[in-house]
Chain A
């Protein structure tokens, strides 16, 4: 595997379900990010982890819970989501201090029914 991978690529879940998104980076980076991408809206930063510590939480609702067990893996745990949470969720990684040169995964297309 190379670059940044995300699983699953597509996810349909009910409002009462609990699911997790997984991201893995194979680039030796030490910072990882979760973004939300909705139609007609800019990419929205959700969480930033640097050296496995959360450094940014962009006022995201508590129904989204991130986890970064090590510098290569990032999870986004989902529970009791709302239909407006349907979006493309993107993971990215970078070297700490080089936030602009972020490498993105292909994303997980999430649909909440």
Chain B
């Protein structure tokens, strides 16, 4: 069964304290892995798409990487405005219109 697992469930960081969020997946024939950010009371906001192992994408303080089994979202020198829930999803190989989401990591960055 296709599955996405995110860890940790919650993460508290001091401003400037770098860390990484993990997304592990089991899917036969990965077509794409995606990261979204969700702020309270809002819908998810698309961040990155990764298609093959070794690929990396960067946006401001965020860098997403992909291996054959997992993806990491690295946050360098985070700021309080980076506080949000970060969601990982994979594209179902059997139903390309379907994204399989993890439960997310709730990140809180304190000044």
Report which A residues bind B (CB closer than 8 A).
Answer: 4, 31, 33, 40-43, 45, 48, 50, 55-56, 58, 90-92, 97, 99-107
Contacts and interface: CB of A to CB of B under 8 A. Distances in A.
Interface of B: 4, 32, 34, 41-46, 49, 87, 89, 91, 95-104
Chain B CB within 10 A, most for which of A50, A90, A99: A99
A2 to B, nearest CB: 13
Contacts of A101: 46, 49
Contact of B98 (A48, A103, A106): A48
A55 B42 CA distance: 26
Contacts of B45: 104
B99 A105 contact: no
Contacts, number: 59
Contacts of A90: 43-44
B77 to A, nearest CB: 28
B96 A99 contact: yes
Given A99-B98, A104-B44, 6 more contacts: A42-B101, A43-B87, A43-B89, A45-B98, A45-B99, A58-B98
10 contacts: A43-B87, A43-B89, A43-B99, A48-B98, A50-B97, A91-B43, A97-B96, A100-B89, A106-B43, A107-B41
A5 to B, nearest CB: 10
B43 A104 contact: yes
Contact of B103 (A31, A40, A106, A107): A40
B103 A105 contact: no
